[in-house]
Chain A
Amino acid sequence: MSKYMLIMRNTDEGYAEYVQKDFSEIIAAMGRYNEAMMQAGVLVAGEGLSGADEGAVVDFTAETPVVTDGPYGETKELFNGFWILDVATKEEAVEWAKRAPLHGPGNKVEVRRVTGPDDFPKDEWAEKEAGWREQLGTN
């Protein structure tokens, strides 16, 4: 078993179209999707993000980090939320991703495996990370 993160991505145009839709319908469709993954015993975490206009971006291109408030400006893609699934294979994660209640141009779900302790050499940082995870209550 591995954990996979499904990352919801969207473009500015896609997002503009998305917010025009009936919000209660979107919520209900998302609820059904989450419930199906719960009932299948695969969903272990998930969060949605508020609009990018409430956020900020720190850009490291220059020597000093540059902070930009609000939407990313020239950036083409927005990250809107994620799910973490406990599944046997990447194909299974992809199959769940295909069922996300998303439609239309610019809407994407990226599927990425979450790394575990076995992905890294057993050095002092791996040791320390084990301690952080205990403190943070994440794993």
Chain B
Amino acid sequence: MARAARDELSAPATEAGRRAVEAVWRIESARIVGALARYTGDFSLAEDLASEALTEALAAWPRDGVPRDPVAWLLTVGRRRAIDAFRRRAGRDERYATLGRELVEGGAHAGGAPARAQEPDLLWDPDRIDDDRLALLFIACHPVLSREARLALTLRVVGGLTSEQVAASLLVPVPTVQARITRAKKTLAAARVPFEVPPAAERAERLGSVLSVIYVLFTEGSSASTGDSWLRTDLAHEAVRLARVLVGLLPDEPEVQGLLALLELTAARFPARTRPDGDPVLLADQDRRRWDRSAIRRGRAALARAVSTGRGLGPYGLQAAIAEQHALAASIEATDWDRIVVLFEALGRVAPSPVVDLNRAVAVSMAAGPDAALPLVDALVASGSLAGTYLVPSVRGELLAQLGRSAEARAELELAARLCGNEREKAVLLRKSAAL
């Protein structure tokens, strides 16, 4: 009887312990993986060691309670595992034998319970934390990795999400995430990618890759491209958090500030973007009182910092400047569409893309009417660059509807609905067509 009661109690206690471990991991994973990677000089090994330390914590903390200094605990376990790994590999590779000796001479314990962090802490160099975190972001977003691998690895090692959380965020099974991370570590090892902040010559390109990973995570979360869920705000917020971390590390990079500004200003609209039944609400129909004013303030502050670097706005900064125009306007009619057209023209020059051209056409229709915008859309149709997507027919259908050409508009909107992968958006297009 007493035994049964205790068993009933232990399940929630274990659950609470697991959540406590996950909370520490979310805050500290980058620091722990970073410190282990710097110390071992081997990112893949460091990620394995950190994962093992996490597994050990998940077993021990719910049982023994959360240690007083959880970071020291995790680092001690990671270091102990590192020594074990070096000893295993020492026979095969002299480099590991040397490292193993140095670690042991440094006073680390091998085996037994995690030691109290009294010995000189070799891994611990507080001045290096920012560099480690930055190096981690750069390696997780390395161009040798596939897009999927970059997303999974960034969420795992920089975002501090467990494999289960990464899987839920990216809508893939857990084994797929684990396979992607394993593959990514093998790729980085095979390509001999060093764990470092890239030298100046590579910096701009590598930073571009980091920014793009954060941006893709955000867009994955803010408009799920498949399935029937329109918004996965947890993933989008995770991307905002990563952008804030990056701003803390590289405050003088205008595009870093520009990306944060874009994400804050876009996320500010989330509370107004879905109806209670989950259907998306278009910008024109959104209740702007529901926009998150503090997010708008943070976004505008980041954009102002991007401008103040005096190096001009890049693609993210320009998109943020467009989002800022919407944030400032009381309604769709009161929006400064002429300014938005100019910003889209600039964006089209620094980052040419048919999607930007299409958005510019929409802005032109708002500034100068549908007859001014239709030729721009027709030119896109003629170029065939967005063929097969629902974007062009949905905009063209809208313009034709405004011009009173209802039959043509219906045909375009129905075509758009057929091409659209998101069930919620498809329903909106069909309703619009039926109303003509």
Binding site for B on A (CB under 8 A): 1, 38-42, 44-45, 86, 88-89, 91-92, 94-96, 116-117, 122, 130-131, 133-134, 136-139
Give chain A nearest CB distance to B33 CB in angstroms: 15
In the complex, chain A residues whose CB is within 8 Å of the CB of B294: 44-45, 137-139
Are B240 and A41 touching (Cβ within 8 A)? yes
In the complex, chain A residues whose CB is within 8 Å of the CB of B310: none
Give chain A nearest CB distance to B243 CB in angstroms: 7
Which residues 16-40 of B sit at the A interface, judged by CB distance below 8 A? 19-20, 22-24, 26-27
Indicate whether B292 reaches chain A with its CB closer than 8 angstroms.
yes
Are B248 and A38 touching (Cβ within 8 A)? yes
Indicate whether B424 reaches chain A with its CB closer than 8 angstroms.
no
Are B23 and A42 touching (Cβ within 8 A)? no
Interface size on B, residues (CB 8 A): 33
Stretch binding the partner chain, chosen from B144-152, B176-184, B283-291, B387-395: B283-291
> Sorted from nearest, which 3 A-B pairs have the closest CB atoms?
A41-B244, A91-B23, A1-B237
1/0 contact trace for B245-272 toward A, CB 8 Å?
1001100000000000000000000010
User: A88 with B234: in contact, given A40-B245, A122-B276 (CB under 8 Å)?
Assistant: yes
Are B242 and A94 touching (Cβ within 8 A)? no
Give chain B nearest CB distance to A111 CB in angstroms: 12
How long is the Cα–Cα vector from A26 to B333 in the complex, in angstroms?
51
Give chain B nearest CB distance to A13 CB in angstroms: 25
Indicate whether B295 reaches chain A with its CB closer than 8 angstroms.
yes
In the complex, chain B residues whose CB is within 8 Å of the CB of A136: 293
Indicate whether B297 reaches chain A with its CB closer than 8 angstroms.
yes
How long is the Cα–Cα vector from A15 to B110 in the complex, in angstroms?
45
How long is the Cα–Cα vector from A107 to B289 in the complex, in angstroms?
39
Given contacts A38-B244, A45-B294, 9 further A-B contacts (CB under 8 A): A1-B234, A39-B130, A40-B245, A41-B243, A88-B237, A92-B26, A122-B276, A131-B289, A137-B297
Cβ-neighbour of B242 out of A41, A92, A95 (below 8 A): A41
In the complex, chain B residues whose CB is within 8 Å of the CB of A95: 20, 23-24, 27
Indicate whether B298 reaches chain A with its CB closer than 8 angstroms.
yes
19 contacts between A and B (CB under 8 A): A1-B233, A1-B234, A41-B242, A41-B248, A89-B19, A91-B19, A91-B22, A91-B23, A92-B26, A92-B27, A94-B23, A116-B271, A117-B271, A122-B276, A133-B289, A134-B291, A137-B297, A138-B293, A139-B293
How long is the Cα–Cα vector from A139 to B271 in the complex, in angstroms?
10
In the complex, chain A residues whose CB is within 8 Å of the CB of B244: 38, 41
How long is the Cα–Cα vector from A91 to B237 in the complex, in angstroms?
17
Cβ-neighbour of A134 out of B26, B237, B289, B298 (below 8 A): B289
How long is the Cα–Cα vector from A122 to B248 in the complex, in angstroms?
38
Cβ-neighbour of B290 out of A38, A40, A130, A138 (below 8 A): A130
In the complex, chain B residues whose CB is within 8 Å of the CB of A91: 19-20, 22-23
Q: Please give me the residue from chain A that is nearest to B298 by CB atom.
A: A44
Are B248 and A39 touching (Cβ within 8 A)? yes
Are B20 and A96 touching (Cβ within 8 A)? no
Are A89 and B237 touching (Cβ within 8 A)? no
How long is the Cα–Cα vector from A43 to B23 in the complex, in angstroms?
16
Which residues 324-340 of B sit at the A interface, judged by CB distance below 8 A? none
Indicate whether B241 reaches chain A with its CB closer than 8 angstroms.
yes
In the complex, chain A residues whose CB is within 8 Å of the CB of B27: 40, 92, 95-96
Cβ-neighbour of A130 out of B19, B241, B249, B287 (below 8 A): B287
Cβ-neighbour of B237 out of A40, A86, A131, A139 (below 8 A): A86
In the complex, chain A residues whose CB is within 8 Å of the CB of B237: 1, 86, 88
Give chain B nearest CB distance to A29 CB in angstroms: 14
Are A130 and B289 touching (Cβ within 8 A)? yes
In the complex, chain B residues whose CB is within 8 Å of the CB of A45: 294
Are A86 and B271 touching (Cβ within 8 A)? no
Are B292 and A39 touching (Cβ within 8 A)? no
In the complex, chain A residues whose CB is within 8 Å of the CB of B291: 134, 139
User: A41 with B245: in contact, given A91-B22, A92-B26 (CB under 8 Å)?
Assistant: yes
Which residues 128-158 of B sit at the A interface, judged by CB distance below 8 A? 130
How long is the Cα–Cα vector from A131 to B22 in the complex, in angstroms?
37
Which residues 192-235 of B sit at the A interface, judged by CB distance below 8 A? 233-234
Cβ-neighbour of B293 out of A40, A86, A92, A134 (below 8 A): A134
In the complex, chain A residues whose CB is within 8 Å of the CB of B23: 89, 91-92, 94-95
Are A86 and B292 touching (Cβ within 8 A)? no
Are A133 and B293 touching (Cβ within 8 A)? yes
How long is the Cα–Cα vector from A44 to B243 in the complex, in angstroms?
14
How long is the Cα–Cα vector from A89 to B234 in the complex, in angstroms?
11
Please indicate which of the listed interface residues B241, B287, B291, B298 has the most CB atoms of chain A within 10 Å of its own CB. Answer: B241
How long is the Cα–Cα vector from A41 to B291 in the complex, in angstroms?
21
In the complex, chain A residues whose CB is within 8 Å of the CB of B245: 39-41
Give chain A nearest CB distance to B159 CB in angstroms: 10
